[in-house]
Amino acid sequence: MVIDQVKIGQVIGGMRSLKCLVTDISYLDPQEGIRYRGYTLPEVFAKLPKPPGAEMPYVEGLLFLLLTGDVPTESEVGDIVDEFKKRRVLPSHVYDVIDAFPKDASPMAVFSAAILSMQGDSSFARLYREGINKMEYWDPTFEDTMDLLAKLPEVASYIYSRLYKDGKRTQGDPNLDMGANFAHMMGIPKPYDDVSRLNFIIHADHESGNVSAHTGHLVGSALSDVYLSISAMLNGLAGPLHGLANQEVLRWLQDLVEQMKGKVPTEEEMKQFVWDTLNSGQVIPGFGHAVLRKTDPRYSLQREFCQTHMKDDLLFKYTDMLYKVVPPILTEQGKAKNPWPNVDAQSGIIHWHYGIKEYPFYTVLFGIGRSIGITANLIWDRALGYAIERPKSLSTAMLEEMAKNAK
């Protein structure tokens, strides 16, 4: 049965909208935004169990939901929290790998390499060498996922301390859930535990066609294990048109703060700043989307958080003004198909507010969340026996010939 037709514009235009991937874990509606296993993000936040006294749910509960499609009970979430506690200790060589990078290295390059350095521990790779039956591939993929996800907060917080704090950091607390333990290791008090939970949950998945999710799936389709696939997807996430946009927003805003000498600009000044950026041939970071045609609900959730917890923050005031002035400007310019803000327009200012001023680190925080969705997909890829990816390419001359014949 035919479900789609391919246009030349799609072949040369980044395969936009081409229906050629399958995932049951999330679906992105252009108007409504992402649904995880059928639930909108507000529904996910309302339904998942929360740690006592917390505003945001357990990240561990999201993994259960993405894997099974069911909202977990408290006790089911507790099982995953316990599993992560057992698996969170890093092999000592990972610290050596991180230490070997120069202090001015990109945190994403260090993150990707640190994950790659654990590949020798992959249960899938070992069992594959020993001749595991393909019907059982999903099981060691699940084990690798649990091992890796449990370790990511430790890896990330160590990278942060090594690159920016001379290696000084707080040791992990095995009694805390993933979000709270990350905040604890970063040395940031409440409500940063809730910021971490919010951040990891909203970034977890955005169906399969975005660069990071697609890369994870593509690399995994060669039966490369979870470590190889997640390290690879992070390299895609590190691009400025994808996850790096969250740090670009901060860099861009800091330029304006400097120009304004710390004052809130007038709307006219803000409009001029936006036009200057566009006229110099750059994109407005944090705005536009390949699929979405409305304000990203991930942006709205973070905006709600800011309105509750940091409404007087200078950068929040800037961001709020951008929400007002950028969409009409992008519409007037007439290029971007979606003039509305995406997830990256709002995330960096929250980390900045709570003291993480080293914005090159922000994409690592996106990467921890994205690893949850991609590994959930990889487990199902192995369970369902999805094929190795191998689309067909054509030459430009062939496309021109086809276009001529069509005329």
Contacting residue, 84, 182, 227, 287, with ligand NMX by CB under 6 A: 287
Residue 200 CB burial class (10 angstroms; 0-12, 13-18, ≥19):
buried
Q: Are 189 and 309 in contact (CB under 8 A)?
A: no
Site for ligand NMX in 69-128 (CB under 6 A): none
Catalytic residue among 344, 351, 353, 381: 344
Site for ligand NMX in 121-180 (CB under 6 A): none
Q: Which residue has the tokens 């703060």?
A: 257
Residue 27: helix, strand or coil by DSSP? strand
The answer to whether residue 286 forms part of the interface with ligand NMX (CB under 6 A) is: yes
Least distance between ligand NMX and beta carbon 339 (Å): 8
Q: Which is nearer to ligand NMX, 94 or 336 (CB)?
A: 336
Site for ligand NMX in 260-279 (CB under 6 A): 278
Contacting residue, 49, 72, 216, 288, with ligand NMX by CB under 6 A: 288
Q: Which of 147, 137, 161 is nearest to 230 (CA)?
A: 147
- Measured CA to CA in angstroms, residue 199 lies from 20, 228, 369 at distances of 29, 24, 7
Catalytic residue among 184, 289, 351, 353: 289
Q: Which is nearer to ligand MLT, 123 or 215 (CB)?
A: 215
Least distance between ligand NMX and beta carbon 214 (Å): 12
Site map (CB under 6 A) of ligand NMX, residues 330-349, x = contact: -----xxxx---xxx-----
Helix (H) or strand (E) holding 275: helix 267-279
Q: Is 353 annotated as catalytic? A: no
Give the tokens for residue 171: 């040791």
Q: Which is nearer to ligand MLT, 71 or 237 (CB)?
A: 237
Binding site for ligand MLT (CB under 6 A): 206, 210, 212, 289-291, 342-343
Region of 261 on the Ramachandran plot (φ > 0 left; ψ -120 to 50 alpha; else beta) = left
Catalytic residue among 242, 351, 353, 381: 242
Q: Is 242 annotated as catalytic? A: yes
Q: Is 214 annotated as catalytic? A: no
Q: Which stretch binds ligand NMX (CB under 6 A): 37-45, 85-93, 190-198, 239-247?
A: 239-247
Say how many residues touch ligand NMX, by CB under 6 A.
20
- Distance (Å, whole) CA 122 – CA 231: 13
Question: Which among ligand NMX, ligand MLT, none contacts residue 285 (Cβ within 5 to 8 A by kind)?
Answer: ligand NMX
CA dihedral 193, 199, 202, 205 (to 10 degrees): -120
Question: Which among ligand MLT, ligand NMX, none contacts residue 181 (Cβ within 5 to 8 A by kind)?
Answer: none
Least distance between ligand NMX and beta carbon 309 (Å): 22
DSSP letter at 359 equals G
DSSP letter at 243 equals T
Question: Which among ligand MLT, ligand NMX, none contacts residue 216 (Cβ within 5 to 8 A by kind)?
Answer: none
- Distance (Å, whole) CA 305 – CA 309: 6
Question: Which among ligand MLT, ligand NMX, none contacts residue 286 (Cβ within 5 to 8 A by kind)?
Answer: ligand NMX
- Measured CA to CA in angstroms, residue 36 lies from 87, 216, 310 at distances of 26, 18, 28
The answer to whether residue 373 forms part of the interface with ligand NMX (CB under 6 A) is: no
- Distance (Å, whole) CA 226 – CA 372: 11
Q: How many CA atoms lie within 13 A of 346 on its CB side?
A: 27
The answer to whether residue 33 forms part of the interface with ligand NMX (CB under 6 A) is: no
Q: Is the dihedral of CA 102, 103, 104, 108 positive or negative?
A: positive
Contacting residue, 140, 220, 265, 285, with ligand NMX by CB under 6 A: 285
- CB proximity list for 80: less than 8 A, separation 6 or greater: 60, 61, 63, 64, 72
Least distance between ligand NMX and beta carbon 321 (Å): 16
Contacting residue, 71, 245, 372, 376, with ligand NMX by CB under 6 A: 245
* Active site amino acids: 242, 289, 344
Binding residues (CB under 6 A) for ligand NMX: these are 241-243, 245, 278, 283-290, 335-338, 342-344
